[in-house]
Amino acid sequence: MKKCRFFVVFILLAFANMLCAGEGMWLPLLLKALNEEEMQSMGMKLTAEDIYSINKGSLKDAIVHFGGFCTSEIISDQGLLLTNHHCGYSAIQSHSSVENNLLKDGFWAKTNSDELANPGLFARFIDRMEDVTEKALMGVTDDLSSEERQSIIDKNLDAIKASYELSEFEDVIIRPFYHGNQYFSFVTVTYNDVRLVGTPPESIGKFGSDTDNWVWPRHTGDFALFRIYAGPNNEPANYSEANKPYNPKHSLPISLDGVEEGDFTLVFGFPGRTNQYLPSSAVEQIVETLNPAKISIRDSALKIIDGHMRADESVRIQYASKFARVANYWKKWIGESQGLVSTGAIAKKKKFEEEFLNKNADNPEIRSILPRFEKLYKANEEYAFTRDYYSEVASRNIELLSLTGIMNRLIDRYENNGRDDYNSYLQRVKGYLEGFYKNYRPEIDREVFASLAKMYVENVNPLYTPESLKVANRDMENFAKGLYSQSSFADPNKMMGILSLPPESAIEKIKTDPVFMLGTEWSNLIDAKVNAPYNRNKTQIDELQRKYMQAIIETFPKKRFYPDANSTMRISYGQVNGYQPRDGVTYMPVTYLNGVIEKYKPGDYEFDVHPKLIELSESKDFGEYADSNGDIPICFLGSNHTTGGNSGSPAIDAHGNLIGLNFDRVWEGTMSDINYDKSICRNIMVDARYVLFIVDKFAGAGHLIKEMKLVHPKAN
Ligand code: ARG
Ligand code: GLU
């Protein structure tokens, strides 16, 4: 009972104490209680009901979870879907070949029948959400162990799920919020026929590539267009030629009026994961131990790969996507650590903790949370470090070792379930390996192995190092040479040959392969000596985090607290804003086409510019898409709180119109996952007018523009 009450109280007192505008990823369902007033004071002309309603079409009906990993939005009454180029990347890549390279040249369907199907890609709507905390926590009392507690909750959640009547394409998802203090259910509707409609060439959609990734000033047209198709009654349906464009409950009109510093912005999407309520001891560990380890490993791997990519064009193509993936978070972590230090995040957390302790002066139980955290994080440090080190070295960066897990699963299938299951999994393994070897160079991987395995031996407690690797470290390069020449894993023909043998012989060959033996020895050691104690500590840490979250909310009843991101639908709001990355430097919030031309490096794989775009820029054939200064706006900055998963989220103006498309954050502010700081945390959006300009003037796809509703909200 008590638990339910404190949430009601905290909602009622919400406005007594405002957060700095910009911070927070809010639940659409609670906007009325928590945010509407502040949003309107910042210039928003909408009501909470216009944004999220279960009674009428509202903005939320245009917001779509794209494949479960990105956000997208509906921009026409024929189901036209806008998302990022980098979100559609693998779909675009899958339709590309050397003769018909959609990545390089772009693609624009002239009619519906030219649009390209993408098996496996789905578009998911949220029909409604509900607070189910009371039912989820029924029977849960304070004296339960965390296992007992979880088992009661699991049963409750099953019962809640069973109480929904759902049709074939509906589902219900229940997620914990506030670290297990609250539960919400989401009824989803999933469309499985999502087709590619249009994409600019990479030189626009990925302009600046890794050099500009996470960076302002930015000039990337990171967008692509898809379309949702539905069955005869506008219902979800599996792919069929007979399907028709989906007619949505709501689609976003697009503003032609652009943005100015200070304009209200709302970002609506599916942020993945944040950690806003960590104790200072945990943040310290990230800054001092975990991030530096992960960064240093990727440093080494990226240097080796980069050298080969620069020396050989075919390697560059093979490794481009891998390199981008590894470099993305490498760069993010560097920015995150620097931002945490430069804004004094740890000192800020410590100050907050002091206040928390003071306010709980007469509650020893609550006061004990922080020292207990400290002890647990200390106790877990070596395990957390080793886990990260192992995963970066053996699962994420040494490519051959990453195959060990897959082979172990294949063997398990045979040993536990028999031949049929083995054969069905084998098909998947073969498919995976085909893609793997297509973009694989053993001589590069061998160099990565030598460098990273050496780092592992030298930086990780020898207790967690396989014996064979300790011996190998006397001459790691030589060891790597032997390993890569003896292992069948390094040779696609040998590997595929083994997999075509009868299961018994194949398994025998796999089990005696030196890469498999090393990989398995290593992962078993980590499981037994690192993961087991890590998980025991982690369960206690999670339990403590739930209590800490509850105590924070009760200790500061006048403050609003937003739940950490968990891939559920959220709203962040802020303003168009530049920032000062360092002393003496101020960044403007908008970039223009002339900046694309400034960055232009003919022939460069990151900064080449398409001749047609140069021509348009010179002839100033901008139509109605130019800004008041006569140039085409490209990207703009906002103080909206976003994270991974918010890619493709719409940026919406005060009236509910689309003004841009979220795709990144600035490097200095990537720490916003842990500590949002208004001074440097900014999200980066493509200006909607650049999207329209490219579709209309660059691609000549005026028929798509005709589908959209273009508006002039500022004129009225
Ligand atoms: N930093 C952006 C996001 O996580 C964009 C990543 C894709 N672009 C790239 N160059 N890797 O994730
Ligand atoms: N590019 C990120 C994504 O793919 C969004 C940027 C961020 O992390 O804020 O979701």
pLDDT category of residue 317 using cuts at 50, 70 and 90: confident
Which atom, in ligand 2's list, is nearest to the CA of 69?
A: 10
Tokens of 385: 């470090």
Residue 648 beta carbon below 6 angstroms from any ligand 1 atom:
no
Residue 255 beta carbon below 6 angstroms from any ligand 2 atom:
no
Is 647 an active-site residue? Answer: yes
The 10 Å Cβ neighbour count of residue 221 is 28
Q: Alpha-carbon distance 175 to 183, whole Å?
A: 6
pLDDT surpasses 80 at 543 = yes
| Residue minimizing CA distance to atom 10 of ligand 2 | 644
Output the CA angle 136-141-143, nearest 5 degrees.
145
> Which candidate, 259, 266, 286, places its Cα nearest to that of 275?
286
Amino acid at 497: G
Is residue 634 within 8 Å of 627, Cβ to Cβ?
A: no
Mutational test site, ligand 1, from 647, 668, 682, 685, max ligand atoms within 8 Å of CB = 647
Please state the length of the chain.
Answer: 716
> Which candidate, 223, 194, 192, 196, places its Cα nearest to that of 207?
223
| Residue 647 CA, ligand 1 centroid: distance in Å | 9
- Looking at residue 685, its pLDDT comes to 98
Rounded to 10 degrees, the C-alpha dihedral 496/501/502/505 comes to: -100
Tokens of 449: 């192995």
Mean pLDDT, the chain, integer:
95
| Residue 87 CA, ligand 2 centroid: distance in Å | 10
Kindly state the average pLDDT of the residues 19-24: 75
pLDDT surpasses 80 at 4 = no
| Residue 633 CA, ligand 2 centroid: distance in Å | 21
| Residue minimizing CA distance to atom 5 of ligand 1 | 664
Kindly state the average pLDDT of the residues 74-83: 98
| Residue minimizing CA distance to atom 7 of ligand 1 | 86
Q: Alpha-carbon distance 490 to 510, whole Å?
A: 12
Sign of CA dihedral 222, 119, 495, 466: positive
Q: Cα–Cα distances in Å, from 488 out to 394, 437, 491, 507, 694? A: 18, 12, 5, 13, 48
| Residue 453 CA, ligand 2 centroid: distance in Å | 30
Which atom, in ligand 2's list, is nearest to the CA of 645?
A: 10
Mutational test site, ligand 2, from 642, 668, 674, max ligand atoms within 8 Å of CB = 642
- Looking at residue 267, its pLDDT comes to 98
Which of 50, 210, 212, 222 does the annotation list as catalytic?
222
Closest ligand to C-alpha of residue 648 is 2
- Looking at residue 716, its pLDDT comes to 67
| Residue minimizing CA distance to atom 11 of ligand 1 | 324
Kindly state the average pLDDT of the residues 6-15: 43
pLDDT surpasses 70 at 476 = yes
Kindly state the average pLDDT of the residues 415-420: 96
Residue recorded with tokens 């649009």:
115
Residues 584-604: pLDDT tens digits?
999 999 999 999 999 999 998
Q: Cα–Cα distances in Å, from 535 out to 294, 376, 564, 669, 686? A: 20, 12, 21, 31, 41
Q: Alpha-carbon distance 76 to 112, whole Å?
A: 14
Residues 28-57: pLDDT tens digits?
999 999 999 999 999 999 999 999 998 899
Which atom, in ligand 1's list, is nearest to the CA of 647?
A: 3
Which atom, in ligand 1's list, is nearest to the CA of 331?
A: 1
pLDDT category of residue 347 using cuts at 50, 70 and 90: very high
Amino acid at 120: G
The 10 Å Cβ neighbour count of residue 16 is 10
Q: What percent of the chain has pLDDT over 90?
A: 92
Which of 86, 250, 610, 655 does the annotation list as catalytic?
86
Closest ligand to C-alpha of residue 662 is 2
Is residue 203 within 8 Å of 610, Cβ to Cβ?
A: yes
> Which candidate, 404, 397, 382, places its Cα nearest to that of 522?
404
- Looking at residue 715, its pLDDT comes to 84
pLDDT surpasses 70 at 152 = yes
Residue 212 beta carbon below 6 angstroms from any ligand 1 atom:
no
- Looking at residue 481, its pLDDT comes to 98
The 10 Å Cβ neighbour count of residue 5 is 9
- Looking at residue 3, its pLDDT comes to 41
Residue 330 beta carbon below 6 angstroms from any ligand 1 atom:
no
Q: Using DSSP, state whether 653 is helix, strand or coil.
A: coil
| Residue 213 CA, ligand 1 centroid: distance in Å | 6
pTM: 0.93
pLDDT category of residue 1 using cuts at 50, 70 and 90: very low
Residue 208 beta carbon below 6 angstroms from any ligand 1 atom:
no
| Residue 210 CA, ligand 1 centroid: distance in Å | 8
Contact residues for 154 (Cβ-Cβ < 8 A; gap 6+): none
Secondary structure (DSSP) of 486-544: H-GGG-HHHHHHHHTS-HHHHHHHHHT-HHHHHHHHHHHHHIIIIIHHHHHHHHHHHHH
- Looking at residue 8, its pLDDT comes to 43
Question: In 3-state terms, the chain is what percent helix, strand and coil (to 5)?
Answer: 55, 15, 30
Closest ligand to C-alpha of residue 336 is 2
Residue 649 beta carbon below 6 angstroms from any ligand 1 atom:
no
Q: Using DSSP, state whether 190 is helix, strand or coil.
A: strand
Q: Alpha-carbon distance 552 to 355, whole Å?
A: 11
Is residue 52 within 8 Å of 569, Cβ to Cβ?
A: no
Kindly state the average pLDDT of the residues 674-680: 95
Is 451 an active-site residue? Answer: no
| Residue 188 CA, ligand 1 centroid: distance in Å | 27
- Looking at residue 17, its pLDDT comes to 40
The 10 Å Cβ neighbour count of residue 452 is 24
Q: Alpha-carbon distance 189 to 169, whole Å?
A: 6
- Looking at residue 367, its pLDDT comes to 97
> Which candidate, 498, 523, 299, places its Cα nearest to that of 402?
523
Q: Cα–Cα distances in Å, from 281 out to 234, 371, 384? A: 52, 9, 14
Is residue 513 within 8 Å of 489, Cβ to Cβ?
A: yes
Residues 605-619: pLDDT tens digits?
899 999 999 999 999
Q: Alpha-carbon distance 93 to 91, whole Å?
A: 5
pLDDT category of residue 9 using cuts at 50, 70 and 90: very low
* Beta strand segments in 538-638, E: 570-575, 579-582, 585-587, 590-592, 633-638
Q: Alpha-carbon distance 550 to 527, whole Å?
A: 32
| Residue 332 CA, ligand 1 centroid: distance in Å | 9
Residue 337 beta carbon below 6 angstroms from any ligand 2 atom:
no
Residues 177-225: pLDDT tens digits?
999 999 999 999 999 999 999 999 999 999 999 999 999 999 999 999 9
- Looking at residue 187, its pLDDT comes to 97
How far out from the chain centre does Cα 73 lie?
A: 17
Is 672 an active-site residue? Answer: no
How far out from the chain centre does Cα 85 lie?
A: 14
Residues 631-661: pLDDT tens digits?
999 999 999 999 999 999 999 999 999 999 9
- Looking at residue 97, its pLDDT comes to 81
Q: Are strands 254-255 and 710-711 parallel, antiparallel or unpaired?
A: parallel
- Looking at residue 429, its pLDDT comes to 96
| Residue minimizing CA distance to atom 2 of ligand 2 | 644
Mutational test site, ligand 2, from 273, 572, 663, 674, max ligand atoms within 8 Å of CB = 663
Residue 687 beta carbon below 6 angstroms from any ligand 2 atom:
no
The 10 Å Cβ neighbour count of residue 358 is 10
The 10 Å Cβ neighbour count of residue 171 is 16
Closest ligand to C-alpha of residue 567 is 2
Q: Alpha-carbon distance 157 to 152, whole Å?
A: 9
pLDDT surpasses 70 at 544 = yes
| Residue 644 CA, ligand 2 centroid: distance in Å | 4
Residue recorded with tokens 């590619």:
196
Mutational test site, ligand 2, from 83, 643, 667, 682, max ligand atoms within 8 Å of CB = 643
Residue 210 beta carbon below 6 angstroms from any ligand 1 atom:
yes
Is residue 495 within 8 Å of 513, Cβ to Cβ?
A: no
pLDDT surpasses 60 at 6 = no
The 10 Å Cβ neighbour count of residue 537 is 18
Closest ligand to C-alpha of residue 643 is 2
Which atom, in ligand 2's list, is nearest to the CA of 328?
A: 1
Which atom, in ligand 1's list, is nearest to the CA of 212?
A: 10
| Residue 560 CA, ligand 2 centroid: distance in Å | 25
| Residue 665 CA, ligand 2 centroid: distance in Å | 7
Is residue 81 within 8 Å of 273, Cβ to Cβ?
A: no
| Residue 568 CA, ligand 2 centroid: distance in Å | 15
Residue recorded with tokens 């589902």:
171
> Which candidate, 673, 566, 440, 510, places its Cα nearest to that of 68?
566
Q: Alpha-carbon distance 327 to 301, whole Å?
A: 10
Which atom, in ligand 2's list, is nearest to the CA of 332?
A: 8
| Residue minimizing CA distance to atom 2 of ligand 1 | 664
Q: Alpha-carbon distance 68 to 173, whole Å?
A: 13
Tokens of 618: 């010179």
How far out from the chain centre does Cα 490 lie?
A: 31
Output the CA angle 107-110-113, nearest 5 degrees.
100
Is the backbone of residue 525 left (phi > 0), alpha (psi -120 to 50) or beta?
Answer: alpha
Please tell me the least confidently modeled range out of 87-91, 381-385, 524-528, 697-701.
87-91
